[in-house]
Structure 1
């Protein structure tokens, strides 16, 4: 087999790992979200079955996180091997968009949302260039990101890049702005069109004041002249998949994990 053929096979393997990583992120989010719902529905229960379910949820979540980490390591090894035999990484000589055959598409296109949530005054050439650079950074890292579906993206003070997509099976803007969650935000005085700006204001300038549910940090920020609290879930890769408002009167867990 020629070097070119080997590189092509390495690209296919790397691309399938991207798909597998995306599935792991979906699974981890579903486990966490389901756990929060289960905890709310069984609060105060002393039944042993409830404790067993919580144990299994923790173990399942940890297994998924370990699998995700292993796949990231595998991608790094593939990239290093490709560089060793061909002088470039898996993205070096050609750009691939999807895995041929019957497998899932790596760059599966998702319909773009109707609204752009970027703040007024930031739709400048410099801002668009910065956003393109941030998207390119995520793509170089092997992250699944659909540029056409990104409605807002930012680099946080700690260097992390976070973004929200209009429609995404893992969550995102459509999930955050469903009728139930919009109703929750509206009841605390945040209209629908200000929800995504609030989420970014919290991530960019807020302070983590505690934790809600399994592992969702709660941010406190002054937004539109009011002190707000919002719980936000961001994947390791930087995709914002969930958010909901938190009452200022609610007692929060001070540590990430329950003692």
Structure 2
């Protein structure tokens, strides 16, 4: 009768494949020996903008794509006890990426290369700190806008126009997935100036008005403005400006 020999861990006696990189130990015993380096309770923090969902690293804000978030998490983990190890972020639920600003914390699996051939899976606890990115902060304070619309109309249309603007705010603005701002001010007896925080919102607004009034675009032009933009210093954007006549 032939005897079958299997290599066992010299520390715990469990069957395992011999690995000189693990010093002959099984994976569990190797991890116990190096527990100070591979912490089972790994925690990091990230900043997420509650206005648009972007994620911060350093002074810059990035869209919450899997690639961007994985890069940021890896950089954060390199500041922990996992710094000596190669780390791979396992796939994240796409829904989680879109809901980051509504969550307090998430847990994601990471793959840690213990040796050249052996990996282990650990879950990282990520606390989510809520903040405003530089653009949403300006939006909230009313200092950021991408479109300015000057509306001209007959005096008797004013009350109806204000009602239409209020309905647009209720129907469109409050349902927006990102922080958007509309600032409305009277401009003389027969005019209103509307400042909007995004060009897309402005075009939706003009389409909304066009369903209720006849629009005559008297003038359309762009003007550049300069903003502070994180570590990139100043950033220039173009502001769309309209002068529009409203008719019944």
Bin for the TM-score computed over the shorter chain? under 0.3
TM value normalised by structure 2 = 0.25
Structure with bigger strand share is: 2
Larger Rg: 2
Q: TM-score scaled by structure 1?
A: 0.25
